[in-house]
Amino acid sequence: MSQSAVVLPYLVVNHGPPGPIEVDRAWRTQDANGDELSVVPGDPIPAWDANRVFTLERTLTLSLEGMQAMVGADLAGAVDVVVFSATAGRLARQELFRRSLSDEDRQEIAVHVRPDSTRLAQDLELTTGVYVVRPVRAGGPLSPARPGSILWELTEQFRLEGGRARLAMYELPFSRSFPGDGIDMADFHVQLADEPDAPIEQGIAVYVNDERREFMEQLHRPRSEGARRFRESVVRRALIAAVQTDWFCEPLPERPDALLATVRRWTGAVWPGWTPEQVRAHVVSSFSLADAQVESWLHRMRPSIQQERAP
């Protein structure tokens, strides 16, 4: 798998230590009782719902001289630290925090954001960046000089709703919801959206047949063997279905949690080093073997795959 990345036409500040910008990996936040705890990218915002008031805090330590040396420009008085939020698959973006850097060399910025829960949906993406906001005197042709230049940027995603990301699961009477499809007696059904760049929570819908009482009883016991097998079967069925879609071999979308990106991550784990075209041909020509390979991978990866995106 390959992903494209933007190469900026000017010098930037390197990520990672040792460097002129250091940032805590974790954000400090509060649980439902107000007690402090840490969250790292990929974590859920604890006990989140649309009424939840919460803050996220951490410290960013910068060396102005270090940044100037790295990009070859006089940045004094021209740089802001800004944090943006994006939500609902990046459909809504807003600024949450901004602080101008002073002329001192070493600066500690206490970043404090309070996303408005009523304006969040599905996910919370925070982008922390150090940006040129006023014209600077460039020391060379590759120095960032214009307002808007991105000196350093870090984008992190957090999950919302119910404590962990879930596939949308709907309990329906199949005889009335899917009349004529011949699945009245099926336990569950998985549908994929024709939107490979949609977040996976939107891109895969799982329907469970509430007319199958015995199955439903097992499903409502999360630790039961039936519930475990169900979770694995959903991933397996979604994976096999996705491989056969028109979009499976398309270039990867930017979002790592997009439907296509997620499915390709799964197939990359089952068949390491294979191209999407090879995977598709294999699934079509040797379905039974491919299905068993997926099942084997699921058993091998049981804890991580279930944590990642199981319903």
Partner 1 sequence: MNLWPRLPLPFAARQAEALAGRTLEDLEAQPWDSAELKRFAPTGGNPVPNAILRRLRDGLSLRAKEAGFPDLRSRHRAKFDDAARRFLLAFDIPFGEAIRAETWAWLAVHLVPHLVAWRFPERDGRQSVERYAGKLYRNAIGRLWYQATQLDLGTSAQDRLSHLSVLGEDQLVALFERPSLGAAPGVAQTVARMWHGLRPADRDEALFRESMKLLLVQARICRLDVLGQDDLDAIVRRSMQVTAERMGLPAQWDAGRRH
For partner 1, the binding residues (CB under 8 A) are: 6, 8-10, 49-52, 80, 82, 84, 86-95, 98, 117-122, 129, 131, 133, 146-150, 153, 161-162, 168, 170, 191-195, 198, 202-205, 207
Residues 168, 205 contacting (CB under 8 angstroms): yes
Q: How far is the CB of 141 from partner 1 (least distance, A)?
A: 15
Nearest CA to 34 out of 20, 17, 52 is that of 52
Residues 280, 267 contacting (CB under 8 angstroms): no
- Cβ proximity to partner 1: between 106 and 146 the closer is 146
Q: How far is the CB of 147 from partner 1 (least distance, A)?
A: 5
Q: How far is the CB of 237 from partner 1 (least distance, A)?
A: 13
Distance, CA of 239 to CA of 276 (rounded, Å): 12
Q: How far is the CB of 308 from partner 1 (least distance, A)?
A: 19
Q: Say if residue 81 is exposed, middle or buried (CB neighbours under 10 Å; 0-12, 13-18, 19+).
A: buried
- Cβ proximity to partner 1: between 98 and 300 the closer is 98
For residue 18, say if its preceding peptide bond is cis, omega within 30 degrees of 0.
yes
DSSP state string for 229-240: HHHHHHHHHHHH
- Cβ proximity to partner 1: between 225 and 246 the closer is 246
Residue 63: C-alpha distances to residues 12, 25, 112, 130, 303 (Å): 14, 18, 20, 12, 41
- Cβ proximity to partner 1: between 14 and 293 the closer is 14
Q: Say if residue 235 is exposed, middle or buried (CB neighbours under 10 Å; 0-12, 13-18, 19+).
A: buried
One-letter amino acid identity for 202?
A: Q
Distance, CA of 253 to CA of 100 (rounded, Å): 33
Nearest CA to 192 out of 182, 177, 202, 184 is that of 202
- Cβ proximity to partner 1: between 121 and 269 the closer is 121
Residue 76: C-alpha distances to residues 10, 27, 100, 279 (Å): 18, 28, 10, 53
- Cβ proximity to partner 1: between 145 and 271 the closer is 145
Q: How far is the CB of 293 from partner 1 (least distance, A)?
A: 25
- Cβ proximity to partner 1: between 93 and 300 the closer is 93
Q: How far is the CB of 278 from partner 1 (least distance, A)?
A: 27
Q: How far is the CB of 109 from partner 1 (least distance, A)?
A: 15
